[in-house]
Structure 1
Amino acid sequence: MNFADGFVLALTIIFLAYFAYATPIIMVGVWRYKKHGFASEEPGEDWDPPNVSILVPVKNEEKVVGRLLDAITRLDYPRENLEVIVVEDQSKDRTLEICQGFARQYPWIKVFHRAASVGKGDALNFGFAQSTGEIIATFDADDIPEPLAITKALRYFDAKVGAVHGYHRTLNLQESIVARLAAYETFLYRLANDGKYALKLFVAFSGSNTFFRRTALEQVGLWDPNSIVEDAELAVRFARAGIPTKLAPVESWQEMPAKVTSLLKQRIRWSGGNIQTGLKHWDAWRSMSPVKAFDMEVLMMSPIMAILAFVGWALLALGVAHVGIPVAELVPLLVVMGALNIFYFGTLLTVVVAQAKTGIVSYLTLMIATYPYATLLSVANFVGLVSVLIMGRKLWLKTEKTGYVDSPTLCASLTKTRQ
């Protein structure tokens, strides 16, 4: 067996193993979604309203931060038990002015301006130091939380639960084909998370719409200011500390990247940060179950799988063109990668498209566009891998927000005044 044959065999085995690993997770997620949506379990009872602090780190977010703060002022939660800590870092636009305007109108909104920008993790730690709440919530500038977000999240806390994290829905599905593809990818990730939660595997926190018990955050040491995916890294430390977390049907609406450049910046940071986290916590098996530790490492190293997928399809394309390895020797690889594609496209068709009542033409367009989209992600993953090895925590690329929403009435319905 020469090197080329060995490489193709190794790729085939890797993809076959990944298919065997991922399929049950997705199937459980689809089954649960078909059965009861994302209401993963029955919530507990309401409890006396604890003090809740909402942390909002912002920088150059003039297009969206006012929308978020408006939504927060309309949350259905007692004002005497709520405070908002806005940490504004060195914005060059009207972000600080907009935030201060809300602070003048609502005394429970506090704005802190910092002359130096040290990253999101550091901003969250600074905000935590200013907060007083028993429960700490985090939202990004482009979020629009549902009015009952806090009330719903609190029902999933019991004496042992250290964090509750919700889901995101898309504000700008119709802005571009890039936004639509990113939204459908996010939905598949949401299905996978629900399956992993049911199977007691590792589920990472989202960067926002997450609610923490203060004492749990203090126990693990708050956010890592040196991480470029501070949310995922924090979730690993929660798991290593054995602190229970819950995935709950608490929804917040958020923007997807609408431009290729925005998507690339976001995914370069995510892929680099995930790999950084996986390497940092290589010994997670020492402090959590081996199965959960393995699942965590698979997630963190998933950018490498995307790069290998690109290599696999490139080899197949070259083989068909009679360049490189003969196509006859690539048949096993073709079968495995084809099965993966059929499975994921089938999931997309039966769940995502069916729920959205998308026509067959739109679905075919989506399917065709998936291939250049996947190629972009592979490029981003490769750049992220190389960049984080060279630059480390300096690899911070901001995802630009546009403020676009599919329907103006959507924001109105999400931020309607309490009766």
Structure 2
Amino acid sequence: MLEMLLIITSLISNSFIGFLMLYALIITFIGKRNTLTNPYEVLSELPEVSVIIPVRDEFNVLEESLSRLMVVNYPLNKLKIYIGVDKDCIKCLEVCKAFTPNVVPVIVSSKGKPAVLNELLRMVDSDYVLLLDCDSLITSNSIVDLINAIIRYDVCGVTGIPRPSNQCSGTLPKFFLVESILWQKLMAGKDYLRLIVQAPGYFTLLKRSCIELIGYWDEESLAEDNDLTLRIYALGSRIKLISSKVYIESPTKLRILIKQRIRWYKGTLEVLRRRWRLLNKMRPLLKFDAFITFISPISPTLLLIAVLSNTLLGGIYNLITIALIAPQLITPLLVDEGLDLNTKAKITLLTLPYVLVNSIASLIAVLTLLANVKIGWWRTEKYGRITTCKNAPVA
């Protein structure tokens, strides 16, 4: 009886993980046809853009982000920057004052990021809104590229490609670099097929009218950006991906990484549970991709279950485990950006522990969701580290 249960468990978990890997591989292969560009058109007049940035107490990273905004290739008289500042962060207010009159600090209560975004959006009167996090470091042409894309493609939103600004602050940011490169390749395929491209809060330009039409951000959501993304696609519009890069601070401590991943995984699964009826408004392929996208946070949990059941069964099942793990071990070696050979080898050796950490975070997210345990909106702590090293792209 126990052996039969293990066989069934192994069959289900192995099949699901294998299917997700195959699906991602196919989408990534298709994405090779999509040469990401930044469409440039000579606009007769650049529109006004409102930048909204929620801040808690991250004054140590805010100054650098605002400094980058002050030197972008965009008329400053066309930019208005709203900073949602926690009432207790006096140093954040001092940083904002140094950038007046372009920066407008708004005192907000600590109700979580979605509530702050809604409060800031209600102050905006421009047609376009740029979402940034307090640690988002944009490049000089980013806003021009985003504006050109959103006008040319007539979409609700446009986003770019993340990279770690603190790549040489430890091993975890290097894993984030690998993940961001994989994300870029996968999203390029989805963009080509007009499937789900997520609208992350650290770097997305949105039409204000679209946000108002779908009802602002869900203040109860742990993954407010994914929730907004799903509602945009259900509306019949989409998010466009371009090649502009944004540099963000990646977790350097295991504790922070685990909290971040639990929030991501649980928040994304909650979006699917609460918004699954919206999938009926989508065309078949988009509906399928939306389901796969928002159910995917359970895959690290299923991988853990698959490895355990395969190990207990032994024999040929161990070969299945190798087939599931091998691609993850090989991936860092194939990365062609920002990592030397020694670093790739080190990351490869640490891949299994890293996968285990993500699996544990996923398991906690799944269990808290099933048990209906509510967790607060955990923010990812920032330390203001901007580090460059050999072969690393400069933030």
Normalised by the size of structure 2, how large is the TM-score?
A: 0.91
Change (3 A) 1:388 1:395: farther
How far 1:402 moved relative to its partner? 1.3
- Contact kept? 1:56, 1:87, Cα under 8 Å: yes
SS at match of 2:149: coil
CA distance in 2, matches of 1:8, 1:93: 54
CA distance in 2, matches of 1:393, 1:62: 29
How far 1:290 moved relative to its partner? 2.4
| Alignment partner of 1:118 is 2:111 | yes
**What amino acid is the match of 1:113?**
I
Q: Deviations over 1:323-342 (max 9, x none)?
A: xx3x12xx2x4444433433
Matches within 5 A, 1:217-228: 217-228=211-222
**What amino acid is the match of 1:70?**
S
How far 1:184 moved relative to its partner? 1.1
State the match for 1:16 in structure 2: 18
State the match for 1:374 in structure 2: 355
Between 140-149 and 390-399, report the one with greater CA deviation. 390-399
SS at match of 2:80: strand
Q: Deviations over 1:164-214 (max 9, x none)?
A: 111112111111111211221222122111111112221111122100112
Q: Deviations over 1:86-112 (max 9, x none)?
A: 11124456223322333xxx2121111
Q: Deviations over 1:360-397 (max 9, x none)?
A: x4322211101101111111112222334556664322
| Alignment partner of 1:355 is 2:348 | no
Aligned residue among 83, 87, 102 for 2:84: 87
Matches within 5 A, 1:223-372: 223-317=217-311, 319=312, 325=313, 327-328=314-315, 331=316, 333-350=317-334, 352=335, 354-356=336-338, 358-359=340-341, 361-372=342-353
Q: Percent identity?
A: 24
State the match for 2:202 in structure 1: 208
- Contact kept? 2:157, 2:199, Cα under 8 Å: no
CA distance in 2, matches of 1:284, 1:334: 40
Where do 5+ consecutive residues of structure 1 fail to align? 320-324, 415-419
State the match for 2:47 in structure 1: 50
Where do 5+ consecutive residues of structure 2 fail to align? none
**What amino acid is the match of 1:133?**
S
CA distance in 1, matches of 2:125, 2:92: 24
- Contact kept? 1:228, 1:393, Cα under 8 Å: no
Normalised by the size of structure 1, how large is the TM-score?
A: 0.86
- CA RMSD, aligned part only? 2.4
| Alignment partner of 1:100 is 2:84 | no
Aligned residue among 140, 157, 177 for 1:147: 140
CA distance in 1, matches of 2:345, 2:358: 20
Matches within 5 A, 1:168-179: 168-179=162-173
Aligned residue among 390, 397, 401 for 2:382: 401
SS at match of 2:195: coil
CA distance in 2, matches of 1:258, 1:47: 44
**What amino acid is the match of 1:51?**
E
- Contact kept? 1:52, 1:82, Cα under 8 Å: yes
- Contact kept? 2:160, 2:203, Cα under 8 Å: yes
How far 1:32 moved relative to its partner? 4.5
How far 1:20 moved relative to its partner? 2.8
User: What is the aligned length?
Assistant: 390
CA distance in 1, matches of 2:299, 2:339: 31
Aligned residue among 66, 71, 91 for 1:74: 71
